Amino acid sequence: MSGKVVTFRNGRVFDGERLHDGHVARFEDGQLAALIPEADAPYTEDAVDLGGDILSAGYVDLQVNGGGGVMLNDDPSVETLKRMVDAHRNLGVAAILPTLITDTREVTAAAIAAAIEATQRGLAGVAGLHLEGPHLSLARKGAHDPALIRPMEPEDFDNLLAAARALPALMVTVAPESVSEAQVAALSRAGVIVSIGHTNADFETCQRYAAAGARVATHLFNAMSQLGSREPGLVGAALANGALSAGLIADAIHVHPATMRAAWASKAGPGRIFLVSDAMAVAGSDLSEFRLGGRMIRRNAGRLTLEDGTLAGADLDLTTAVRNLVGLVGVGLEDALRAAITVPAALIRRKTVAGQVLGDMIRIAPDLSACRPAI
């Protein structure tokens, strides 16, 4: 893109915070140079006509287990990461945290090594790594293999510290049942984004872990202690504690729209709710089934389930999640776009939202029915 000027007109522009109507977006050398009122902008025949589409930075998805027919767990390699990135790029995602579901120490080490190599090579779209397990609670295992869930041992802890030094972003989902407050505090000081999830921990315990350094709750309402009249659980802690952000699978299957509406209205700041796809191998493909650790997962009517009916990830793209927030939950479009882009980008300290890199830009249909790369 060096030396090139690209302009977009006849659409709306989302700058990471606000939607601008009637503006021309001018990019120079691949970076957003100016937003100019259309009436003041010189007309150029080679300007890209958005046809009413929304021009925006691409989505940032912090929970991506697979895509393009592959799962990170099955082959934790740079080749798998590239295939996942390509599949999600076609769904409008500029950056992902490839996510490893609970696995062996050897597979975990391979995933860390692949993510490090990918980021060192500059593989566009790989923003780091998310390790969802294995240090979870058996009581809230969800689709995770119970035989692989275990407490965090010194070797695991040391491996995470080393990974945090080598990766631009490392998120780990842990349960208080398997990880100590001291471990969470040390990981947080080392720059690890600690997320509480897959846990039956009570409200007070979750508050203590947030005070120790946990910053996120993994897929709010799912695989966690629920909000009750006398015990608020992790749901209550995530909503009440301003230090905690929370990922949300907004497919109207994992969480009912009315529940999402109540959570959105009650979430304390500055921690925010952000959208995740929790995508599996089927993302960006026409697969009807796949295997995770030898267990069959079937795709049917927007659901991914194990043979016993347990939800196993989501069949969701973030454009659909944004549309559901707006249409089913009543969230404003700017807020919904922030939840898919700006909030998760800030959590992993990603700067491209503010920088608006042309190669990361997407076009979103006005009715939120689809999106595609802007160029």
Tens digit of each residue's pLDDT (9 = 90 or more) over 197-207: 999 999 999 99
| pLDDT for residue 1 | 43
* Average pLDDT for 325-340: 97
pLDDT at 43: 76
Question: In this structure, which amino acid lies at residue 177?
Answer: E
Q: What percent of the chain has pLDDT over 70?
A: 98
Q: 298-309: b or e for each residue (b if 16 or more CB lie within 10 Å)?
A: ebeeebbbeeee
User: Domain 58-351 is of which CATH architecture?
Assistant: Alpha-Beta Barrel (3.20)
Delimiting residues of CATH 3.20.20.140 domain(s) in the chain? 58-351
Q: Which fold has domain 5-56+359-373?
A: Urease, subunit C; domain 1 (2.30.40)
- Give the active site residues: 278
C-alpha dihedral sign at 343, 67, 111, 159: positive
Q: Which amino acid is at 262?
A: A
**For 57-107, what is each residue's pLDDT tens digit?**
999 999 999 999 999 999 999 999 999 999 999 999 999 999 999 999 999
- The pLDDT value recorded for residue 350 is 82
Backbone phi, then psi, for 79, in 5-degree steps? -65, -40
- pTM of this prediction exceeds 0.75: yes
In the predicted model, what is the mean pLDDT of residues 32-48?
85
What's the pLDDT score for residue 294?
A: 83
| Assigned token pair, 212 | 């120790």
Residues 6+ apart with CB under 8 A from 166: 112, 116
**pLDDT reported for residue 354:** 55
In angstroms, rounded to a whole number, what is the distance separating the alpha carbons of residues 13 and 7?
A: 12
Q: How confident is the model at residue 352 (pLDDT cuts 50, 70, 90)?
A: low
Lowest mean per-residue pLDDT among 104-108, 115-119, 148-152, 312-316: 312-316
CATH 2.30.40.10 domain residues, the chain: 5-56+359-373
Confidence of residue 53 (pLDDT cuts 50, 70, 90): very high
Q: Which pLDDT belongs to residue 355?
A: 63
Look at residue 2 in the predicted model and tell me its pLDDT.
45
Residue 362: CB atoms within 10 Å = 24
Round to whole Å and give the CA distance between 375 and 361.
8
Percent of the chain with pLDDT over 90: 87
**Residue 17 to residues 131, 249, 323, 336: CA-CA distances in angstroms?**
29, 22, 17, 10
pLDDT in tens, 207-240: 999 999 999 999 999 999 999 999 999 999 999 9
Task: Output the pLDDT for position 292.
Answer: 84
Whether the CB-CB separation of 199 and 209 falls below 8 Å is answered with no
- Cross-strand bridge partners of residue 35: 25
